[in-house]
Amino acid sequence: MIPVLFIVIPMITGLAVFFFKNERSVKLLALFSSLATLVVALLGLTLLNDNNNVQYSANWLGFLGSRISLKVDGMGQVLCLLTSISYPAIFIATWKNQYQKAGNFFGLMLLSQAGLMGVFVAMDALLFYFFWEMVLIPVYFLSSQWGGEKRIRATMKFFIYTFLGSVLMLVGIIYLYSQTPDHSFSIESFYNLNKILPGKTQNWVFWLFFAAFAVKMPIFPFHTWQPDLYEQANTPTTMVLSGVMVKMGVFACIRWLLPVVSIASFQWGDVVTSLAVIGILYASLLAIQQDDLKRLVAYSSIAHIGLMCATIFSETTVGLQGVMIQMFNHGINVLGLWIVVEMIEKTCGTRKISELGGLAQKAPSLAIFAMIIGLASVALPLTNAFIGEFMMLNGIFSSSITHYNIVFTVLAAVSIILAAIYILTMIRKVFFGSSNTVTSNAQDIQWSQKLVLSVIVILILWLGIYPDSMLNLTHGLSESIIKKSDVLPLLMKH
């Protein structure tokens, strides 16, 4: 029942919220709904964590061979937890924001949550596609209706990019469906295809899927929608986008790509990893150049996601586990960064790094939180990101499916130096030094942001000091995925 609740709670409240006019009641209802989801997620991880509760199956489009089949597996638990933590955190942190047509805004937000949850728990390809698009549509309206001046243009760019990817993926799904012996969209049938489909077919089906995922993550050179959109969209939407939505691409690669077309994943592994590694360095270098805080965070996010992508295609258990918890870590960290950026913009009226300075004197609490979250972004030990990045880099290094593992590792690891450069430079220029006219009247953060940022910092440290609490969720799953995508027996057979 738990996966159903994940989808139904936000969907029902989301639809209901549309009809509310009073902004305060809208906010309260949205917050209540997201907290309810969080409670369900926490219960699902602890008390109710048994096989009956975490899966659900019902008839849907029986004539097509598609069922409503939902299951919260290890990776699903991590990502559903991330989603369910993110939404209340976003709502509380932006509690004071005013919206035109608040009902629509929060309704769309909750619908996007329902879609995201659906993506993470769907075990049926058609259902997966359905939820995949269900996320896109609310986000399209959210970012085109509320945000900066050039938001329409940025949103169009984003929409065309992702929609193109999605359509290609749909073609891929339908093709694979037609190839299944039992004409079924279920994930097991798709996994079995691995043994049936010849390498040549897999090679082009791979790109149909990967196009959608690469755009969503995004991977260099499909990334240019991201900085524009992050810059223009309103902050809550940006938080959803970068905190949770970009994980869809990473997630989908692990669940729907690696074990489904593993020969192609093996064949294209070097190409994709090269792109990802280039993207890591490229985005890190660009982040150094940015003057706009939002764009800086956007590029740093591209770099971090690039590392996840490179790790996925190195196909090691340790690496995959690293990716899974790093998805959570990155979501949390980037959420914290957005809150910091939002507060800076609110209190100083600008996001230009060159105009800011000396904020630490005016807003010491903000400075401390920014520092801790910034250090988590540069993967300092005892913060969560270190664990993830360490495991991921270790995964790439120990990969047995590529000859270039050492080169990839070294190049990808250079990003930890570059990350230190851009994060520390940003902190120095924004918070340190003496205050100027822009920052002299700055206010420190309010209780609501303090609350959310404290939770984030606690999570950062908790997962940095005792990561095993989350790592053991992902162990079995990553092992089974690696086993499914082991190409050696497949290549022998073909």
Partner 1 sequence: MQNVLQIVWLVPFFPLIGFLIVGLFRKQLSKTLTAIIGCGMVLLPFLLSIWIFILVKNGGGYVADYFNFISAGSLKVSFALQVDALSALFLLIVTGVSFIIHVYSTTYMKEETKEHYGRFFSYMNLFVFSMILLVMGANFIIMFIGWEGVGLCSYLLIGYWFKNKEYNKAADKAFIFNRIGDLGFLIALFWIISKAGSVSFEDVFSKTSVFSSSDITIITLLLFVGATGKSAQIPLYTWLPDAMAGPTPVSALIHAATMVTAGVYMIARSNALYSLAPVTENIIAIVGLATAILAATIALKQNDIKKVLAYSTVSQLGYMFLALGVGAYSTGVFHVMTHAFFKALLFLAAGSVIHAMGGEQDIRKMGGLKGKMKITYLTFLFGCIAISGIPPFSGFFSKDAILLAAFEHNKILYAIALFGALLTAFYMFRLLFLAFNGSFRGTEEQQHHLHESPAGMTIPLIILAILAFAGGFVGIPEILMKGGDKLTEFLSPVIPVHSVELVSHSTEMMLMVISTVLVLLVIVFAWYRFRKYHSVEEKGIGKFLENKWYVDELYEKVIANPVNRFAAFLNKFIEKSLIDGIVNGVGRLVNYGSRQVRLLQSGQVGNYVLLMVLSMLLIFVIQFFLRK
Q: Output the smallest distance, CB 338 to partner 1, in A.
A: 22
Give the C-alpha separation, 158 to 137, whole Å.
Answer: 11
- Of the pair 74, 118, the CB lying nearest partner 1 is at 74
Q: Which residues bind partner 1 (CB under 8 A)?
A: 157, 160, 221, 224, 282, 285-286, 288-290, 316-318, 321-322, 358, 360-361, 375, 378, 380-382, 387, 390-391, 393-394, 397-398, 409-410, 413-414, 416-417, 420-421, 424-425, 428, 431-434, 466-468, 471-472, 475, 478-479
What dihedral angle (degrees, nearest 10) is formed by the CA atoms of 247, 249, 250, 251? 80
The residues facing 68 across adjacent strands are 58
Measured from the CB atom, the residue of 201 and 224 that comes closer to partner 1 is 224
Nearest approach, Cβ of 198 to partner 1 (angstroms)? 31
* The two three-digit tokens of residue 375, written as one number: 């250090």
Q: Which is nearer to partner 1, 201 or 398 (CB)?
A: 398
DSSP-based three-state secondary structure for 260: coil
Is residue 56 within 8 Å of 70, Cβ to Cβ?
Answer: yes
Q: In the complex with partner 1, which residue's Cβ is closer, 479 or 486? A: 479
**Which of 196, 136, 130, 205 is closest to 168 using CA atoms?**
205
Question: φ and ψ at 186, to 5 degrees?
Answer: -70, 155
Q: Quick check: 430 and 353 in contact, CB under 8 A?
A: yes
Q: Which is nearer to partner 1, 169 or 323 (CB)?
A: 323
Q: How many residues does the chain have?
A: 494
DSSP state of 435: -
Task: Identify which of 307, 328, 487, 271 has the alpha carbon closest to the alpha carbon of residue 397.
Answer: 307
Q: How far is the CB of 263 from partner 1 (least distance, A)?
A: 23
Q: How far is the CB of 463 from partner 1 (least distance, A)?
A: 11
Closest distance between partner 1 and the C-beta of residue 320, in Å? 9
Q: Which is nearer to partner 1, 41 or 375 (CB)?
A: 375
Structure tokens at 121: 């728990």
Dist. CA 402–CA 157, nearest whole Å: 35
Minimum Å gap between C-beta 114 and partner 1 is 31
For residue 364, cis peptide bond before it (omega within 30 degrees of 0): no
Distances (CA, A) of 473 to 49, 221, 470: 11, 33, 6
* Residue whose structure tokens are 């801790």: 372
Taking the complex as a whole, the smallest distance from the CB of residue 75 to partner 1 amounts, in Å, to: 14
Q: Six-digit token pair at 132?
A: 């995949």
Q: How far is the CB of 413 from partner 1 (least distance, A)?
A: 6
Query: DSSP label at 404?
Result: T
* DSSP state letter for 399: -
In the complex, the smallest distance separating the C-beta of residue 11 from partner 1, rounded to whole angstroms, is: 34
Which is closer to partner 1, CB of 48 or CB of 380? Answer: 380
For partner 1, give the closer residue by CB, 221 or 349: 221
Peptide bond into 227 cis (omega under 30): no
Nearer to partner 1, 187 or 286 (CB): 286
Sequential DSSP letters for 73-129: -HHHHHHHHHHHHHHHHHHHHTTT---TTHHHHHHHHHHHHHHHHHHHHB-BHHHHH
**Nearest residue (CB) to partner 1, 7 versus 363:** 363
Q: How far is the CB of 225 from partner 1 (least distance, A)?
A: 8
Cβ atoms 195, 490 nearer than 8 A: yes
